[in-house]
Amino acid sequence: MTEQLRLMAVHAHPDDESSKGAATMAKYVSEGVDVLVATCTGGERGSILNPRLQGDAYIEEHIHEVRKKEMDEAREILGVKQAWLGFVDSGLPEGDPLPPLPEGCFALQDVEAAAEPLVKLIREFKPQVITTYDENGGYPHPDHIMTYKISVVAFEAAGDPERYPDAGPAWQPQKLYYNQGFNRPRTLALHEGLLERGMDSPYGEWLERWASFQKHERTLTTYVPCGEFFEIRDKALVAHATQIDPDGGWFRVPLEVQREIWPTEEYELAKSLVDTSLPEDDLFAGIREN
């Protein structure tokens, strides 16, 4: 191709880019694709999930700055570009009844208005492919669901010069994908593969609870081979030190076992303006050929 291939990954918080599609991004970077992560919020209301850092008064007081530095490190590890959309983390409401979301947070914004910064970024970066979350957010965090909403609006609006006229010249992305890395076939394959090897599996309880957090099976359309980049993915994830326990479940399955059993990351093709045949092994299928 004479034109540069460009991929935009839209995520809700810093660390989401490293847990969802990170190996895919690292693979494309290695091939010369220009990759940009759009991060909707600063993660200001994220809990400190790493037990080693819990109770650290400085981190608790300066969580926004800390998470920004973590994002800088993860970005460098992955080799991607990154932009902040500037919204405020909504937090994950817990309790019964659920408390109201905090005033001014991302999830309470008007969707059409909140899509404008993303439309502007799309028109500036000119990606052929965008990845985001499905309508359930991958899991029902209000910021993930809002990320889905503005991504769908922005994908449709970016190419229409009559919409958001102050956001720059129109640019129409060609394909929109939903991240589906946490899918049942992959989880079941890893679970059974570990047991067959006489190893403990961290996925038994996940599989038992699957129906409670996913109402129906997603359609996996695209399997990107990226096993050789799993180590980069994990390093980027560990860079988000406030969010990731390096001794936790993310890292219990040896990389060589992951590569042997399931060496891909999965996506669901949501919209395509180019011809492609399913299943795919490339997010740019139908684009490279043209």
List the binding residues for Zn(2+): 13, 16, 144
Q: Which amino acid is at 1?
A: M
User: Where do we find the tokens 């970066």?
Assistant: 125
Residues marked as binding? 13, 16, 144
φ, ψ of residue 68 in degrees (nearest 5) = -65, -45
State the sign of the Cα–Cα–Cα–Cα dihedral 91, 35, 221, 262. negative
Count how many Cα atoms sit within 13 Å of the Cα of residue 66 in the half-sphere of its side chain.
Answer: 18
Alpha-carbon distances, residue 230 vs 2, 258, 276 (angstroms): 30, 9, 27
Rounded CA-CA distance 24/46 in Å is: 25
φ, ψ of residue 170 in degrees (nearest 5) = -60, 145
